[in-house]
Structure 1
Amino acid sequence: MNFTPVESNVTGAVPSEVTLFTGIGRVMIIVCLGITINYINATMVHTFSKHHIFKVNPRFILFIHLVFNDMIQLTTSISISVLYYVFDTIHVYLCCLIILPGILTTQNTPLNLAFMAAECYVAVCIPLRYNNICTVNGTYIVIGIIWALSSLSVLPDVFILLATEPLEFFHTRIFCLRDTVFRSAYSVKKRDASHILFLVVVWLTLFYTYFRILFVAKAADADAKKARNTILLHGFQVLLCMTVYVQPLLIQVLTYAFRGQFKAIYFALYIINQILPRFVSSIVYGLRDKTFRKYFKKYLCTVNCHPKKISLTR
């Protein structure tokens, strides 16, 4: 997770009072957006847990895993942003504890989307074999594979950190970023290689499944067309996630094009690569699927309109 907090140590020509006011405003925007998205996602998880029809559907199992993954990732990134604003720098060991779940969940997202696209492909292109290929147990194995692959990408950074840095480093205060914690040249090269590998595999999967489904969709089947649109949304979400991987280059280009707007650039990139992908997750199935939407709206309305009733029933 190449997360960068909303503000930076770069000083501008703006007076300190304005900078402080702007910083508070940006943090409040991020916290409010994060709470809103996590509230919607938590309602989706609750909806999933209450109905057996979703628990036996591989599509919704993968979807709710993506939603839960997004909740962890969003909470982590917001925590780093708030900690930066309050304390500016934090100890390395604390930064590691916070940033590692964020890195893992960021790596999980494109892999989860690739498997969701593959599930759509099986459902549309080879429906007669769907029940044999896409099983509940198999789906949980896939989720385990996703976490294993992400861990294999991240754990070497931890081992390199422990092997190359002195013990005193973990008690120093730093600006909590992945590159300031895992600063070894080996970690940087490994990170770039794993990002390229993951994204190539994910994009090949998305392109293959999209064009195969597109061919089937020519038969004017409504389910096939819906699956095609779902793959497009997956592609859009992966495209947003990719901005995390190319963020250093984007920062260089944008700071050159918009001089003196360094903090605004960081804020805009945070919204694009941290907030928007989590919002897309909520609409791919949560709002587009009629069955899930029916139950989801019921719980969302109940929580908003009858809070006292819920507290009594619990």
Structure 2
Amino acid sequence: MSFANQSQTNITAGLQYQGLLGIVMFSILTSVPCCVFLFINVTMLFTLRSKLVFRETSRYILLYNLLFADTVLLAQSQLLYIIAACRIILTYPVCGFLITLAYLTNEISPLTLVLMSLERYVAVCYPLRHATIITTRNTGVAITVVWAFCSVNVFIRVVLLLDFPFEDLDSLQMKDFCSDIAMFVGVLSDHYDKAYTCFVFISAGVAVISSYIGVIVAARSASTDKASARKARNTLLLHLVQLGLSLLATMHNPLLLAISEIGSRIVIVRIRMVVYVCIILFPRCLSSLIYGLRDQTIRPILMYHLCCRVKLSVIPAKAEVSVLYQ
């Protein structure tokens, strides 16, 4: 998939035409938001492991899996950005390892969103069977299947990559910055990437939309908890937005290439910077913001940890006592 790494490489490729001050300024503009988002995500991950209720509830286990993949991808993407900003040229094996890790973690997100949507669908449409269908064991099996599926995809990409005659190269040293596009050394790799991206996002989109429609239909039933159905509907809508942002992150590079033909290089670099922060960085922290602010169980504990365990007056007294003594 074409995602953060290509965007970062395109940005830093333009930075080489500017002075040291420009490089420092743009690096700060990306590194500061990235560090903030990483802090929020890591705090959220710690929060989800701090209480037994989070470790034994399926939707929180799925949320942890989503956040873990997004956090690893965010850290790895920023690492590649810093390497490119410092104009460090990697070798093909090292770049291939980093890109492979990025592929793996990037593909976990849309599939985990599908699992989270299905979990909400079962909770609303089959409330009496939810406890028997959505168990901790079944959730672990589903997450394992997702990682296995993504690992098979990565393995296929590596096999396609090995088809390239590296022995004909003078050196394994890359001639450009490390990016996913730089690793498309064969036509088959490019075709496979496009086909896989379309398959995953069409399948994920159909699954999330179907779950959303099912929840809406169930909400009209007299036997359905209206409040629960409304919350599930809003959650599924947010999942659909997250999926759309992930898809947008895979499609924005061709748009930027089209814009680059009509604008100056300085303007293009600034546009790419805005796109990187808004479309690449922010969505990786969206899950933390959605669940951290909306979920009444997570919110007081997350705020407690975000504020470095300083007592806040906005945290209800009972929740604060629970945080301190559990």
Q: Is the 8 A contact 1:255 1:265 kept in 2?
A: no
Deviation at 1:88, TM superposition (A): 4.5
Matching residue's letter, 2:288? S
Match of 1:271 in 2: 277
TM-superposition CA deviations, 1:233-288 (whole Å, max 9, x none): 11111111112321332123333454542212322222233212112111222221
Q: For residues 276 and 302 of structure 1, do their structure 2 counterparts lie closer, same or farther at Cα, with a shift above 3 Å needed?
A: closer
- 2: CA distance between counterparts of 1:176 and 1:118? 37
1:230 aligns with 2:232: no
> 1 CA distance for matches of 2:94 and 2:263?
34
Secondary structure of the structure 2 residue equivalent to 1:174: coil
The aligned amino acid for 1:228 is: R
Q: CA deviation at 1:300?
A: 2.2
Task: Give 1:5's aligned amino acid.
Answer: Q
Question: Cα 1:249–1:115, aligned 2, differ >3 Å: closer, same or farther?
Answer: same
Query: Which residue of structure 2 lines up, in the alignment, with residue 292 of structure 1?
Result: 298
Query: Can you list the C-alpha shifts for 1:164-185, whole angstroms capped at 9, x where unaligned?
Result: 2314553334321112113211
**Which structure has more RCO (C-alpha within 8 Å, separation ≥ 6)?**
2
1:215 paired residue number: 217
Contact persistence 2:69–2:105 (CA under 8 A): yes
Determine which of 196, 199, 203 is the counterpart of 1:201. 203
Residues 41-96 of structure 1 show CA distances to partners (whole Å, capped at 9, x for unaligned) of 11112112121111110000000111111110000110000000112432222212
2: distance between equivalents of 1:270 and 1:300?
25
Q: Is the 8 A contact 1:92 1:173 kept in 2?
A: no
Q: Distance in 1 between matches of 2:14 and 2:25?
A: 18
CA distance in 2, matches of 1:222, 1:173: 57
Residue 108 of structure 1, CA deviation: 0.9
Amino acid of the residue matched to residue 160 of structure 1? Answer: L
Contact 2:37 2:282 in 1 (8 A): no
Aligned-residue sequence identity (percent) comes to: 26
**Change in 2 beyond 3 A, CA 1:217/1:52:** same
Partner of 1:39: 39
Q: Which residue of 1 aligns with 2:254?
A: 249
Aligned residue number for residue 309 of structure 1: none
Q: Which 5+ residue runs of structure 2 have no aligned equivalent?
A: 313-326
CA contact (8 A) 2:119 2:134 kept: yes
| Matched AA of 2:61 | I
Match of 1:136 in 2: 136
The alignment yields a C-alpha RMSD, in angstroms, of 2.2
Mark the runs of 5 or more structure 1 residues left unpaired by the alignment.
Answer: 307-314
Structure 2 partner of 1:108: 108
Partner residue, 2:62: 62
Aligned position for 1:312: none
Contact 1:153 1:191 (C-alpha < 8 Å) held by counterparts: no
Length, aligned pairs only = 302
Partner AA of 1:142 in structure 2: A
**Match of residue 323 from structure 2:** none
8 Å CA contact 2:292, 2:299 repeated in 1: yes
Alpha-carbon distance, 1:301 to partner: 2.6
CA distances 1:83-137 after superposition (whole Å, capped 9, x unpaired) = 0011243222221222221111111111111111111101111111111111101
Q: What is the DSSP-based 3-state SS (H/G/I as helix, E as strand, rest coil) of the residue aligned with 1:179?
A: coil
The letter for the 1-side match of 2:202 is V
| Counterpart position of 2:187 | 185
Please, what TM-score do these two structures have when normalized by structure 1? 0.89
Q: Equivalent residue of 1:302, what SS?
A: coil
Q: Letter of the aligned partner of 1:217 in structure 2?
A: A
CA contact (8 A) 1:92 1:174 kept: no
Distance 1:36 1:5 in 2: 18
Task: Give the structure with the higher percent helix.
Answer: 1
Q: Distance in 2 between matches of 1:162 and 1:183?
A: 9
